[in-house]
Amino acid sequence: MERVAFVLKVRADRIEEYKERHKHVWPEMLQALREAGWHNYTLFMRDDGLLFGYLETEDFDKALAAMAERDVNAKWQAEMAPFFEQLDGKRPDEGLIRLEEVFHLD
Residue 45 pairs in a beta bridge with 51
Q: Which H or E element spans position 95? A: helix 92-95
Rounded Cα distance, 50 and 6, in Å: 10
- 22 catalytic? Reply is yes
Task: Please identify which of the residues 22, 24, 39, 104 carries the catalytic annotation.
Answer: 22
Q: Annotated catalytic sites, by residue?
A: 22
